[in-house]
Amino acid sequence: MRIAFDARPLIGARTGVGVWLDGLLRGLAAATGWSFVLCLPRRVDDLGVGDLGGRLTVLAPPVPLPGTLWLQTVAGPSVAGRADVFVGSLGVRPRRLSVPDVLMVHDLTPRTRPRAHTLANRMCFNAYIEESLASTQTLVCLSEATREAVSRIQPGAARRARVIGAGVDPFFSPAGDGEDGGETRRRFTGGRPFIVQLGTLEPRKGIATLLAAHALLLARRPDAPDLVLAGGRGWGRGWLAAALERHPDPSRIHRPGYVNRDDARALLRHADLVTLVSEEEGFGLPLAEALACGAACIASDAPALVEVAAGAARHVARGDAAALAAAAAAALDPEAQRALRAAARRRGAELTWEGPLAAWRDLLEGIGRGQSTAGQLRMPGDAPARH
């Protein structure tokens, strides 16, 4: 069977949706003999999946196009005869699609929290989301929280939606014996203990609340850990500068930028606390990865984060800096640390790709059953994936 994907999340540095798509591709490739068509609005030299080799075909127009224009004009017709199923990875499906499709909705934040997104992002998403929800043959939501958000827009779509979560790569695991974290602390905080939040630095992630809470924590405990904000710069600059300006000691804030997964794992393993205090999430992969690493975690009460943690993290009200500071102070107690880390290990062991991959395989097999299997060789003009 040939599965086509909107592969735009694979372009550039991996963030949440890109990590999800990478994991899904690799898992399906390992478990099946299927081939995969990566649909893009332009040619890209390195998608980070070159080791899948001959299993992949890249399908892109000869002239680069803006993503939404490409999706709504040439993407649908271009997969005809080249794929048996199309997976819309970014919550919007192409028009004029001649093969069965699965629409994957990670979150609806461009719709529910438009001020937390760029104008271009929310316009491109919001202009097509309702049409996509109504017309897709199969709808998948990343969490029950996302399905609930869909129900507020289109109750009928939510009723027929399936929930298939994300898995955590086995790479994210607790530290081994003898790993004391000294090297990680030296590299990121000059040797000091630290609290870390992983994720793009953008308003929706609750960074301003976290900075305010850290300031309150330092006022209560001057020896409290430093704060590491590990993630690439998202849109908007004024809000972050203003939040940093209000912090009493910016030298205790460290911003290494986007970190690769080796550094991400080291930060999660050796942080005194991991936080994810987003206003809204579709899943919260950094929290899942932190739990898999056995980290003591504090998260906001965003429904998806409560769902992912399943009791293994402490939750605080979104936007409440005082409550977050109090929770952090309590969680730094050695006994609390031990309890949180033990809970994280138990929950982390459950957050594997095994269940999600089985669900995706069953879903795609069911959709593809009865579809023509002719023409599985590359069509003239297709190009092997370049990486």
pLDDT given for residue 124 in this prediction: 77
What CATH code is assigned to 182-348?
3.40.50.2000
Comparing C-alpha atoms, which of 306, 252, 253, 258 is closest to residue 278?
Answer: 306
Percentage of the chain with pLDDT > 90?
82
Number of H helices, E strands in the chain: 17, 14
Which one of 51-55, 118-122, 240-244 scores highest in mean pLDDT? 240-244
Over range 371-381, report the average pLDDT: 33
At residue 374, does pLDDT exceed 80?
Answer: no
What pLDDT does 57 receive?
93
What's the pLDDT at 3?
97
Q: Rounded mean pLDDT of 17-45?
A: 96
Look at residue 213 and tell me whether its pLDDT is greater than 90: yes
Which stretch of 52-61, 159-168, 251-260 has the lowest confidence by average pLDDT?
52-61
CA 316 to centroid of chain Cα atoms: 21
Least confident of 44-53, 139-148, 278-287, 296-305: 44-53
Please give the helix or strand (H or E) that residue 236 lies within, else none: none
Q: Which residues contact 278 (CB under 8 A, 6 or more apart)?
A: 199, 204, 205, 206, 284, 300, 302, 305, 318
pLDDT digits (tens, 9 = 90+) for 82-139: 999 999 999 999 999 999 999 999 998 888 777 766 666 777 787 889 999 999 999 9
315 DSSP β-pair partners: 299
User: For 241-257, what is the mean pLDDT?
Assistant: 95
pLDDT band at 236 (very low <50, low <70, confident <90, very high): low
Q: Mean pLDDT of all residues in the chain?
A: 91
User: What integer is the mean pLDDT of 367-381?
Assistant: 45
Looking at residues 235-264, what average pLDDT do you find?
91
Which pair of tokens denotes residue 282? 């579709």
Question: Look-up: residue for tokens 């009723």?
Answer: 159
Q: Report the percentage of the chain scoring pLDDT > 70.
A: 93
Summarize pLDDT for 272-286 with one digit per residue, the tens: 999 999 999 999 999
Per-residue pLDDT for 358 more than 80? yes
Identify the band that residue 237 occupies on the pLDDT scale cut at 50, 70 and 90.
Answer: low
Instruction: Evaluate if residue 25 carries a pLDDT over 90.
Output: yes
Q: Looking at residue 116, what is its pLDDT?
A: 67
Average pLDDT over residues 19-30: 96
Q: Quote the pLDDT of residue 126.
A: 78
Helix 354-368 to helix 16-31 angle (10° resolution) is 70
CATH number at 2-167+353-379: 3.40.50.2000
pLDDT of 387: 35
CA dist 76 and 264 (Å) reads: 37
By DSSP bridging, strand 383-384 and strand 226-230 are unpaired
Q: For residue 381, what pLDDT band results from cuts at 50, 70 and 90? A: very low
pLDDT of residue 235: 67
Domains 2-167+353-379 and 182-348 share a fold: yes
Question: Where do the structural domains in the chain lie, given as residue ranges?
Answer: 2-167+353-379, 182-348
- Residue 232's φ and ψ, nearest 5 degrees, are -70, 160
pLDDT score, position 385: 41
Could you tell me if 283 and 273 are in contact, meaning their C-beta atoms sit under 8 angstroms apart?
no
By mean pLDDT, which of 51-55, 152-156, 163-167 is the weakest?
Answer: 51-55
pLDDT at residue 111, as a whole number: 81
How does residue 371 score in pLDDT terms, banded at 50, 70 and 90?
low
What residues have CB less than 8 Å from 154, skipping those under 6 apart?
130, 133, 134
How confident is residue 157, by pLDDT bands cut at 50, 70 and 90? Answer: very high
Q: Answer whether 312's CB lies under 8 Å from 346's CB.
A: yes
- Checking if the pLDDT of 66 tops 90, the result is yes
Residue 372 has pLDDT above 60, yes or no: no
Q: Give the mean pLDDT of 192-197.
A: 98
Q: What pLDDT, on a 0 to 100 scale, did the predictor assign at position 379?
A: 28
Tell me the mean pLDDT in the region 344-359.
98
